[in-house]
Amino acid sequence: MIPVDTFQTKSSQIYAVLKSDITTGVYKPGLHLVRRDLVKRFGVSLSIVNEALGRLGNDGLVETKEMYGTRVIALSTEMLQEEFVLREAIERHVVRLLAEGGTDECFEELLNQAQTLDRLNAEKTHDEAKVTMMHLEFHLQLARATGYAALEETLKRSSMRALLTTRWRKNQRLPHPVDFHEQLIRVIMDRNAALADQKMREHLHFAADAVEGKPAEAPAAPSPAH
């Protein structure tokens, strides 16, 4: 059955549960999601299950093919590389836009989010699934702050798919500087688009290079507090 939450529709609650099951690895890539089994599991109608699966499809977490049904997306090595290239292009453009046009209020909110994320990530007993989703939301908030909805939606789809990969999970477990995300925001706050672009590149490649055995680019020292 679905958890009771009067502030969410049934399809939204099912969507949230299934998204969690997929991104935490309960449902593995390539797993076939049988709709009648989901109807039985959640005690809802087929139309509600279809709506939830449709939203997961929009996120890029599942794919549906006629005659084959719906399955959790399984990405090839080539597809993973394409996803990373797309994500890097979007996020580097996002920070350039923010450095050029972000408001002080926007920067203050992003800095608070970054500090909270860094603090939770440093806790030895943190909830890995919770911190992973907070990390995703932090990067989506950067895109959202530009005011361009298409950037956020495209980044969301790419990043959600990345959650399914072993590389993403390894990235989250690597030791990062204690102020890893705060460093990024403080560089953006300097309002130098070129420096913000370079810092985001370092940020994205820090974990990716470490997973692949390459020497990670040394993060720049944090800028003085404003």
pLDDT in tens, 145-190: 999 999 999 998 888 777 666 555 555 566 788 999 999 999 999 9
Looking at the structure, tell me whether residues 112 and 201 fall in a common domain.
yes
Looking at the structure, tell me whether residues 52 and 100 fall in a common domain.
no
State the distance between the two ends of the chain, measured CA to CA, in whole angstroms.
50
Do the Cβ atoms of 42 and 49 come closer than 8 Å?
Answer: yes
Looking at the structure, tell me whether residues 97 and 124 fall in a common domain.
yes
How far CA 221 is from CA of 15, 30, 184, in Å, comes to 41, 42, 10
The torsion angle over the Cα atoms of residues 102, 103, 108 and 113, rounded to 10 degrees, is: -40
Tokens representing 42? 């959640």
As a whole number of angstroms, the distance between CA 126 and CA 121 comes to: 7
Tokens representing 92? 């580097």
Looking at the structure, tell me whether residues 68 and 81 fall in a common domain.
no
Inside any domain, residue 3? no
Do the Cβ atoms of 69 and 157 come closer than 8 Å?
Answer: no
Task: State the Cα angle at 144 between 141 and 146, rounded to 5°.
Answer: 120
Give the range with max mean pLDDT: 59-63, 74-78, 190-194: 190-194
Q: What's the pLDDT at 174?
A: 66
DSSP helix/strand/coil, 59: coil
Residue closest to 185 by CA, chosen among 175, 173, 200: 200
The residue ranking higher by pLDDT, 172 or 201, is 201
Looking at the structure, tell me whether residues 43 and 62 fall in a common domain.
yes
Looking at the structure, tell me whether residues 65 and 90 fall in a common domain.
no
Stated pTM of the model: 0.75
Looking at the structure, tell me whether residues 118 and 102 fall in a common domain.
yes
The 3-class SS string of 102-165 reads: CCHHHHHHHHHHHHHHHHHHHCCCCCHHHHHHHHHHHHHHHHHHCCCHHHHHHHHHHHHHHCCC
How many structural domains is the chain composed of? Answer: 2
Q: pLDDT, tens digit, for every residue of 108-135?
A: 999 999 999 999 988 877 777 788 888 8
Looking at the structure, tell me whether residues 60 and 162 fall in a common domain.
no
Domain holding 24, by residue range, is 10-72
| Extended beta strands in the chain, E state | 32-33, 62-65, 69-72
Q: What's the pLDDT at 6?
A: 45
Residue closest to 72 by CA, chosen among 116, 113, 11, 31: 31
- Say yes or no to pLDDT of 226 above 50: no
